Structure formats: C-alpha cells, structure tokens
Amino acid sequence: MFGDFFSRALIAGIGIAAVTGPLGCFVVWRRMAYFGDTMAHSALLGVALSILLSLNMTLGVFAVAALVAGALVLLQKQATLSTDALLGILSHSTLAVGLVLVGFLTSVRIDLMGFLFGDILAVSVEDIAVIYGGGAAILLILWLNWRPLLAATVSPELAEAEGLRPEVSRIILMLLMASVIAIAMKLVGVLLITSLLIIPAATARRLAATPESMAGVAAVLGAISVAGGLYGSRTWDTASGPSIVVMALTIFLISLAVPTARLFGRREHHGA
C-alpha cells in the first residue's frame, strides 16, 4: 500500500484535504484569505530557522506561524493600522526574512522550489503518519470547539453575550491554521496551501446549505482535487502541487453552472 510513491502521495493528499476542507470553511466565512497567505508565507521563515537551529521542521514552522498569529493579535490591539495593512507587513516581511536567511545557509542545500510549491511525490511513510496524526488532532479540536467557533463567526457580540469567548475561539482558529500549514507545507508548498484551504471551501459553499454539510463537502472536494491533480500530473508530466490547485479551480468553475439551490442540507448555512 505504501510501496509506490504515487500511492503515498495520494494517501497523504487525501489526509490533508480532510483537514483543510473543514478549516477552510472558517477561512471563507470569516474572510481570512489574506491571513491564510500571511501564515503560509511565514512558513518559509520557519524552515530557515529550523535548519539554522537544528529543530524539527514541522515544529519550527508551527512555532513561527503561531508567533506571527500572536503578533497580529497584539498589533491589532494597538489600533494604529488596519488589519489588512498589518497582514501585508507581516506576510511580506516574514517571507523576505525567510528568503534572506535561506541565502545565508550556504552550507546546507535547500530545495527552495520544493518548499514554495511543494513536492507531494516525495512524501514518506513518516510524513503520512505526521499528516494523519496531526490532522486527527486538528479535526478533534475543531469538533470540540465547533459551536463557539461558529457562534463567533456569525456574531462575536452574541457569542460573547452567551459566554463563548469569541477572542479565545479566534486564537484557537489561528493556531489550527498554523498547525495545518506546518503539516501541509511539504505537500503543496507555502505558496499554494492557501488555495487548498479556500477553493474547495468556496466551492462547497455553493453546494451546501448547513455549516456541517459545507465542511464535509469541502473535505470531499479537496480529496477529489488531490486525486484528479495527481493523476493529471502523472498523465501530462506537470508539477504535482500546482496541478492539484488547478483541479480544485476546475471543480469550482464547474460548480458555477450549478443552480444556487443547495444540494446538501436543508437550511441556509451561517457565516458571511
């Protein structure tokens, strides 16, 4: 089952899709696409620091992404700049600092293109274990916090009135995004991970009528995108990571032809 590199890539990609689908729904509902880009760009800084300090790369990427999320929360409390301006500063600064640090690591050979665009075909059995172990933990935390996260997404004021602490929910969501970026970076790369978070969820929004069904549909569409992208990559000898994103885009464009009536669920979903 794990002997063939294509099988390993397919299994790993489906594992990532199962996590990015539900999590991506909150990215779409909360209009957090730019935040997702910022977190993804910070991953390269995490890679450089991990190599420099001889740390585990997944943990290093998570730590840097979590610090960037914390920095955003602190800067937002200063109320001197708009959120999109702060995200722009953090996004491009972390990417630039990461690239500069990579330039100083002359004694280590770094596949920069692999980190930027991913190399899912090089995934190992150990990577699959990290993806499924980490993914299961992320989904469990997401499930346990589903109600407060959803309530804070619909109306932070009402959530606070109900004692659900929307600010805590926001921090949990940021940390979950940092986690999924850390485990997915090797597969689809720092520049494409946001696409896998957003496109299947955006497609599912057109097809699902409830938050729960949207999360499930997004996961399934992400898995189809992975499978279709990998088979397309093998057939036409194209880059695997971008091929997965192109497949996700193709499914989204096809969904535009579907009537706006929801196919899954009976009631209108929450969120913006």
Bridge partner residues of 264 (DSSP):
208
Read off the pLDDT of residues 22-34 as tens digits, 9 standing for 90 and up: 999 999 999 888 8
Read off the pLDDT of residues 205-257 as tens digits, 9 standing for 90 and up: 999 989 999 999 999 999 999 999 999 999 999 988 899 999 999 999 999 98
CA 145 vs. chain centroid, Å, equals 18
Which pLDDT score is estimated for 158?
A: 86
Read off the pLDDT of residues 133-186 as tens digits, 9 standing for 90 and up: 999 999 999 999 999 999 999 998 888 888 888 899 999 999 999 999 999 887
Architecture of domain 5-191: Orthogonal Bundle (1.10)
First to last CA, the chain: 42
Q: How confident is the model at residue 270 (pLDDT cuts 50, 70, 90)?
A: very low
Question: Residue 95 is which amino acid?
Answer: L
Kindly report the number of other CB atoms within 10 A of residue 236's CB atom.
Answer: 8
Q: What residue segments make up the domains of the chain, in order of their start?
A: 5-191
- Please name the helix (run of DSSP H) or strand (run of DSSP E) that holds residue 154, with its range, or none: helix 146-154
Q: Which two tokens stand for residue 58?
A: 């997944």
Q: Is the pTM of this model over 0.85?
A: yes
CA 99 vs. chain centroid, Å, equals 21
